[in-house]
């Protein structure tokens, strides 16, 4: 009788355990990271009797979770892959939209600037057209500055996201180490070595959270603890020990973040999770965009300034700079003993690359490394100056063993400014308006005689002076409205002479000056009120009324064509084309990341579905189990009731 009751009672307890496990599964059907639990039953040892071995019921062996290591690892890896691609795609999309939009990007203002230069070319004497050009120039500068500022702000936010991800990973790793300790203790204290399922689920959920941040892998130890590896196998958690991640500044780009593990840079090993996506965004989009935008800024400003210098403004003076770029940024190593200075080289702008450079000095041997591709050169200094690709480096004060990071384009867009405010200073003309035919002497633009007899020899100064004097004497200065005294300065033949007019109409007129066949004859701008020469002889103006050819638009036309002039990157692309390349590069990264994100999302969904099929709660199955275990419980209860009835009958029979 006791055997019957014991057997029935074991069945009752087994059914109750199964019902408890089933109800727990139903309660946690929506709990992230929960693995379905089931009761493992085993037959109790039978007892020998005269009729053979008689069963003694059932034992509740263990409560195990439906955990599939392979499926879980697939979910972990695809989680990291999707998080990386989705983060990069989302962040890059914003930059792509900003750069490509005609309002927020640079294309619109560059087009307006080109139209404004055409407007000056159409009416070179119009102050309103010239002012419109300066306004367009200011808009280009403002937009370039704005884009650079937005990229800088995004970079700051990106650094903050890297720090947040590292902090989260450290917190998760610390919690995993604590759970390792609890799991080992709980397993050791269990009579049958049963692991605590709830703690195992919590630990797996933390690993999944790390996978959201970075690519991660685990190895289960014999005692039930796990080792957690991040990146390409760098140990983050080993049992109860935790290695802390930290954030540092990149040696080749101080504005960028690097991820350190025990002081070692592991940024390149982190290929998954939001952390990898953020780092990729920083290097593939932000840095590249800032460098290329700087190249556009330098190319645009340098070419415009050079074209300005080639022409003459409304006052007849040589053109001055319209834009200012400052100097290429230099970051010195903290151990340096000397210093260097840099400046842009407008004559070599075509060699400028959208890259940083590292310059080092080893006992007078210079090494210049282009960091974008690792190309190394060993330039020599000429008179203390190294000619770099688009910039010069003054190394006269450099120290032995010094090292410098040179950033010719990274901060160029940020540093660019428009310095011209006077519309009369726009150099629309290709000439200053004074140039005349050779061997002609003019006053107020009126020919008064040919000048002959002088070339470049100082010994012929007397003959030249005589020729000039004859021309002046033969001209009626009074009818030209010239008042006395008037001084004419001659330049262009060689030597110095003084010529006094002998005409009775105005006396005296003195010509003094350097008569050398250099300087102004090659296009140097004359100062107001001075005289200058043309090729092959004299062209003289007189100070009271210099004549300027105001209608010349040749230089303005040349400015209008610069947008399509392939002067950058070795003469392969214009500054308009360089900006188009920037948009294309960001667009390519965005599209690639978007396609990868879609693919990884599908892979993650498939891996999650497989994992849930194996380990997740199936409510239909649990509902069937409720009925099954309820019936088993009721049957065991009935068996106990029968045993009680039999026992009562037996007692009654004995009375």
pLDDT-derived band at 550 (thresholds 50, 70, 90) equals: low
- In whole angstroms, give the CA distance from residue 124 to residue 433: 13
pTM: 0.77
**Residue 546 confidence (pLDDT):** 32
Region of poorest pLDDT, from 17-31, 474-488, 518-532, 555-569: 518-532
For the cut 60, the answer to whether the pLDDT of residue 530 exceeds it is no
pLDDT in tens, 98-154: 999 988 999 999 999 999 999 999 999 899 999 999 999 999 999 999 999 999 999
Structure token digits, residue 128: 């309103």
Average pLDDT, the chain: 82
Q: What is the mean pLDDT of residues 345-366?
A: 93
Number of Cβ within a 10 Å radius of residue 222: 5
For the cut 70, the answer to whether the pLDDT of residue 491 exceeds it is no
Residue with tokens 């290329």: 292
**Residue 493 confidence (pLDDT):** 38
Query: Hey, where are the domains in the chain?
Result: 2-66+616-654, 72-290+573-608, 329-407, 440-547
**Residue 248 confidence (pLDDT):** 92
pLDDT in tens, 311-354: 988 877 889 999 999 999 999 999 999 999 999 999 999 999 99
Look at residues 234, 273, 235, 211 and name the one whose alpha carbon lies nearest to residue 72.
211
Q: What is the mean pLDDT of residues 530-554?
A: 43
Strand pairing class (257-261; 264-265): antiparallel
Structure token digits, residue 264: 């070692």
Structure token digits, residue 80: 């990291």
| CB neighbour class for 650 (10 Å; exposed up to 12, middle 13-18, buried from 19) | exposed
Q: Which residue has the higher pLDDT, 270 or 647?
A: 270
Residue 414 DSSP one-character state? H
> Which residues on neighbouring strands pair with residue 264, listed in sequence order?
261
Q: What is the mean pLDDT of residues 417-442?
A: 71
- In whole angstroms, give the CA distance from residue 534 to residue 545: 19
Look at residues 572, 577, 568, 560 and name the one whose alpha carbon lies nearest to residue 304.
560
**Residue 432 confidence (pLDDT):** 60
């Amino acid at each position: 009788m006791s055997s019957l009751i014991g057997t029935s009672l074991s069945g009752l307890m087994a059914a109750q355990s199964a019902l408890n496990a089933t109800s727990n599964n139903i309660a946690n059907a929506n709990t992230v990271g929960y693995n379905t639990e089931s009761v493992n039953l085993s037959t109790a040892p039978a007892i020998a009797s005269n009729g053979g071995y008689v069963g003694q019921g059932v034992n509740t062996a263990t409560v195990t979770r439906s955990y599939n290591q392979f499926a879980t690892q697939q979910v972990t890896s695809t989680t990291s892959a999707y998080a990386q691609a989705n983060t990069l795609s989302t962040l890059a999309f914003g930059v792509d939209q900003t750069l490509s939009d005609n309002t927020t990007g640079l294309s619109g203002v560059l087009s307006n600037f080109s139209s404004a230069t055409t407007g000056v070319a159409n009416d070179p004497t119009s102050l309103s057209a010239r002012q419109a050009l300066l306004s367009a120039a200011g808009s280009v500068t403002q937009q370039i500055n704005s884009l650079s500022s937005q990229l800088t702000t995004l970079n700051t936010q990106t650094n903050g996201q890297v720090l947040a991800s590292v902090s989260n990973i450290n917190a998760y790793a610390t919690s995993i180490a604590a759970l390792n300790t609890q799991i080992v203790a709980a397993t050791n204290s269990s009579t049958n070595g049963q692991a605590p399922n709830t703690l195992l689920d919590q630990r797996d959920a933390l690993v999944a959270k790390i996978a959201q941040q970075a690519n991660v892998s685990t190895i289960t130890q014999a005692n039930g603890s796990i080792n957690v590896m991040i990146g390409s196998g760098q140990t983050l958690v080993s049992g109860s020990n935790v290695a802390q991640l930290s954030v540092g500044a990149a040696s080749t780009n101080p504005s960028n973040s690097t991820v350190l593990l025990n002081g070692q840079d592991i940024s390149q090993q982190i290929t998954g999770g939001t952390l990898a996506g953020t780092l990729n965004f920083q290097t593939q989009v932000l840095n590249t965009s800032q460098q290329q935008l700087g190249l556009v800024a330098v190319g645009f400003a340098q070419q415009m300034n050079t074209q300005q210098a080639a022409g003459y403004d409304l006052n007849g003076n040589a053109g001055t700079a319209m834009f200012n770029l400052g100097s290429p940024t230099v970051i010195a190593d903290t151990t340096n003993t000397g210093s260097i200075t840099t400046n842009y080289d407008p004559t070599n702008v075509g060699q400028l690359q959208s890259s940083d450079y590292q310059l080092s000095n080893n006992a007078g041997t210079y090494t210049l490394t282009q960091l974008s591709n690792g190309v190394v050169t060993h330039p020599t200094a000429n008179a203390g100056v190294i000619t770099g690709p688009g910039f010069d480096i003054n190394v006269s004060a450099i120290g032995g063993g010094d090292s410098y990071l040179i950033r010719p384009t990274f901060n160029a867009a940020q540093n660019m400014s428009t310095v011209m405010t006077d519309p009369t200073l726009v150099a629309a003309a290709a000439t200053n308006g004074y140039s005349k035919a050779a061997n002609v002497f003019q006053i107020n633009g009126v020919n008064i005689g040919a000048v002959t007899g002088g070339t470049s020899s100082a010994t012929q100064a007397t003959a030249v002076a005589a020729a000039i004097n004859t021309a002046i004497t033969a001209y009626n200065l009074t009818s030209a409205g010239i008042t006395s005294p008037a001084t004419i300065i001659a330049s262009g033949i060689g030597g110095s002479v003084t010529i006094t007019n002998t005409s009775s109409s105005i006396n005296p007129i003195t010509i003094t000056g350097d008569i050398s066949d250099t300087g102004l004859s090659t296009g140097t701008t004359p100062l107001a009120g001075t005289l200058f020469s043309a090729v092959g002889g004299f062209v003289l103006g007189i100070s009271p009324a210099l004549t300027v050819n105001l209608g010349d638009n040749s230089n303005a036309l040349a400015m209008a064509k610069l947008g399509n002039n392939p002067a950058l990157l070795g003469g392969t692309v214009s500054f308009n084309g360089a900006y188009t390349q920037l948009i294309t590069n960001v667009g390519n990264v965005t599209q690639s990341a978007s396609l990868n994100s879609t693919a990884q999302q599908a892979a993650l969904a498939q891996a999650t579905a497989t994992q849930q099929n194996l380990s997740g709660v199936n409510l239909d199955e649990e509902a069937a189990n409720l009925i099954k275990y309820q019936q088993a419980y009721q049957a065991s209860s009935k068996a106990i009731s029968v045993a009680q009835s039999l026992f009562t009958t037996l007692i009654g029979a004995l009375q």
